[in-house]
């Protein structure tokens, strides 16, 4: 396991807190992609920047049968029944527990998402979102920004733990049990696809125990910023598969069940054209919390 410690400034103050009543900052500008696996088209759901990476526009999937999504501000969502409450109710419950994560590296900037674990700013995200980061900024659902430290990461499991400096009163997510996930159950994905914070998409669990090695076994893995890496150092985990639209920027955000419980951490998508086609992958939350415990105990 690789564990890295941040050397960032630890001054316990937020980077910026907007005036009361001001709208959240505009996150709609296009950003660069980061490819996790080339050719095979299994790509990290993170918006990144580096030489040679493709440019995408700030759009979300809306092709054939894909469910609708909401973006930025006070999110609204479709109102189809989830079995225990409508989607908009679940979305409003979970949105305050999801942050946008911006990481600045020598190669540029990546944008992903994160799940709030504690009121004082402990945050769970994907390792590839903050890989090589010198500065990390997290933005809560109300638009308040905090400088964050990377407490540790495991690149194989694709899990990282952040600590927002000076954070108080954040809303921790409720973690569920990924062992109880069933094919066909309703789920929501929440995050910042293409940098559009507070985006909610819905779908179902389309498979469980999906080995990512089943896709593209002959292809050469790449880092989130498009640089080839050794196959042994790439992410390796068994995933929950979902058809809830996941795009670049959803990495690290939650996959949520109808009770508003986090059952997975969105991490990758199958994307022949570098856009969502309704095949996304999430790290089961039970696996993520085991890695979290290991990182925190070693931090």
> Which are the catalytic amino acids?
128, 158, 251
Inter-residue contact 34 to 53 (CB < 8 Å): yes
| 207 to 167, 212, 261: CA distances (angstroms) | 37, 12, 18
Q: Enter the tokens of residue 3.
A: 């564990």
Phi, psi torsion values for 53, nearest 5 degrees:
-75, 150
**Any residues with CB less than 8 A from the CB of 36 and at least 6 apart, and which?**
42, 43, 44, 128, 221, 222, 223, 224, 234, 235, 268
DSSP 8-state code for residue 128:
G
C-alpha dihedral (185, 77, 158, 282), degrees to nearest 10:
20
Burial track 177-194 (b if 16+ CB lie within 10 A, e otherwise) = ebeebeeebbbbbbbbbb
Nearest residue to 196 via CA among 244, 250, 265: 250
The DSSP bridge partners found for residue 240 are 282
């Amino acid at each position: 396991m690789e564990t890295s410690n941040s050397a960032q400034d630890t001054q316990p103050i937020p980077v910026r807190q907007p005036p009361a009543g001001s709208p959240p900052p505009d996150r709609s500008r296009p950003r660069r992609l980061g490819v996790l696996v080339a050719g095979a088209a299994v790509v990290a759901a993170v918006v990144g920047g580096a030489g040679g990476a493709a440019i995408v526009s700030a759009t979300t999937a809306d092709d054939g049968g894909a469910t609708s999504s909401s973006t930025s501000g006070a999110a609204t969502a479709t109102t189809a029944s989830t079995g225990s409450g409508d989607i908009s109710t679940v979305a409003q419950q979970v949105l305050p527990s999801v942050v946008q994560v911006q990481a600045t590296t020598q190669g540029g900037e990546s944008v992903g998402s994160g799940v709030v674990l504690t009121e004082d700013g402990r945050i769970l995200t994907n390792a590839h979102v903050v890989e090589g980061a010198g500065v990390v900024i997290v933005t809560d659902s109300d638009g308040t920004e905090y400088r964050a430290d990377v407490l540790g990461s495991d690149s194989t499991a694709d899990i990282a733990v952040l600590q927002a400096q000076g954070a108080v009163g954040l809303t921790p997510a409720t973690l569920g049990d990924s062992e109880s996930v069933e094919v066909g159950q309703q789920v929501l994905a929440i995050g910042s696809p293409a940098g559009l914070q507070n985006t909610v998409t819905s779908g179902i669990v389309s498979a469980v125990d999906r080995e990512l090695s089943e896709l593209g076994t002959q292809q050469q893995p790449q880092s989130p910023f498009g640089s080839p890496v050794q196959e042994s150092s790439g992410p390796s985990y068994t995933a929950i598969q979902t058809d809830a639209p996941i795009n670049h920027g959803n990495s690290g955000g939650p996959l949520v069940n109808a009770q508003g419980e986090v059952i997975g951490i969105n991490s990758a998508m199958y994307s022949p054209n570098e856009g969502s086609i309704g095949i996304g992958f999430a790290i089961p939350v039970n696996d993520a919390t085991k890695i979290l415990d290991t990182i925190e105990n070693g931090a």
